[in-house]
Amino acid sequence: MSDIEEAPPGVDITVPSPARLYDYYLGGTDNYEVDRQAAESIRAQMPELEDAAWANRGFLQRSTKWLAEQGVRQFIDIGAGLPTMNNTHDAAQAVAPDARVVYVDNDPIVRVHANTLLEGSSGTAFITADLRDIDAVLGHEETLATLDLGKPVGLLLMAVTHFLSDEEDPWGLVRRYMDRLAPGSYLAMSAATPDRHSDGAVDAINDVYARSTSTAYMRSRPDVERFFDGMEIVPPWKGAEPKVCYIGEWGAEDPEAADSDGSRWAYCAVARRAE
C-alpha cells in the first residue's frame, strides 16, 4: 500500500494509472487499491505479468549500459514511471559517472515521488511533460540545463509508445524526436505486442487500460519495426543480425534462456540515428 494516506493534488485514486500499475507489477508500494485490483485482473489471465515487467526493466538497464559503453553520456527517459531502484542513471553512471539523465513523465504522482527518488543523485533532472509534446520535452529549461542537445543523446522510450493510438501517428512522432537530436544519437525502445498471446490475456490488458488514464494499443512486430525505419538497428546480442527482438533477449548472455513467456509480451531494439 502507498505510504501516502491521501491522494496528492491532481491525483485521481479512483482510476488506475499506468505508472502506478507498473510500480505494482514490479513489487513497488506507490500504488492504490484501484491499481492493485486492476493488475490482479490482468494476472488472472496473464500469470507471467511480473516476469514481463521485469523483462522490460532488464532491457532498460542493459540497453542503457550498452549505450554508455558506446560513449553516450546523455539520456532522456520518457515515461519513466515510479521504480525506486536500478533506474536509468544508476545503469549509465555505473559505466560513466559523468552521465546525465532527464526523466520525463506526465503522471502527476510521479512528480510527487521524483524529488525523493532522485535526492542525492547528481546529473539528473525530472520534468512533467507529455511524450506527444516534443517542444515541452526538449525545450524544457531543466532539459536544456542538464543536457547539451548539440551532442548525441540516448532517447529511451520504454513501454510508452503503446499509449499512443495509430491516429496520433506515434511513428512520425518518434521520427521527429530523432530528427531533433544530434547525429549519433540512439533510440532504445520497447513496445507491447499481442502477437502469439491468448485472446483472454490480450482482452484483460485492453480492458484494464481502457479504464485507466491511458488506453493501450499493443502492436504487431511489423508495426514495431516501423519505428526504426531509416535508423541503423544494432545487433541485439553477439553474433545476431541487426533486428527487433523480444525484450528479454536483448543483450542477454544466453538469448534462448532469456526468451521467457514474459519476455514475449514486448518487442524492442536499439538503433542509431544516421549521420
Give the contacts of 17 (CB within 8 A, at least 6 positions apart).
35, 107, 109, 212, 213
pLDDT at residue 42 in the model:
98
First to last CA, the chain: 48
Predicted confidence band of residue 84 (pLDDT cuts 50, 70, 90): low
pLDDT at residue 1 in the model:
44
What structural domains does the chain harbor? 18-272 (3.40.50.150)
pLDDT of 112 strictly over 50: yes
Radius of gyration of the chain (CA): 18
pTM: 0.94
Residue keyed to cell 510508452: 160
What does residue 29 show for φ and ψ, rounded to 5 degrees? -120, 0
Give the contacts of 69 (CB within 8 A, at least 6 positions apart).
95
pLDDT of 224 strictly over 60: yes
Alpha-carbon distance of 265 to 263, in angstroms, equals 6
SS3 track for the chain: CCCCCCCCCCCCCCCCCHHHHHHHHCCCCCCCHHHHHHHHHHHCCCCCHHHHHHHHHHHHHHHHHHHHHCCCCEEEEECCCCCCCCCHHHHHHHHCCCCEEEEEECCHHHHHHHHHHCCCCCCEEEEECCCCCHHHHHCCHHHHHHCCCCCCCEEEEECCHHHCCHHHCHHHHHHHHHHHCCCCCEEEEEEECCCCCCHHHHHHHHHHHHCCCCCCCCCCHHHHHHHHCCCEECCCCCCCCCCCEECCCCCCCCHHHHCCCCHHHEEEEEEECCC
Work out the average pLDDT over 76-82.
90
- Taking the CA atoms of 252, 255, 258 and 261 in sequence, report the sign of the dihedral they define: positive
DSSP lists the bridge partners of residue 246 as 267
pLDDT at residue 124 in the model:
94
Predicted confidence band of residue 55 (pLDDT cuts 50, 70, 90): very high
Predicted confidence band of residue 2 (pLDDT cuts 50, 70, 90): very low
What does residue 23 show for φ and ψ, rounded to 5 degrees? -60, -45
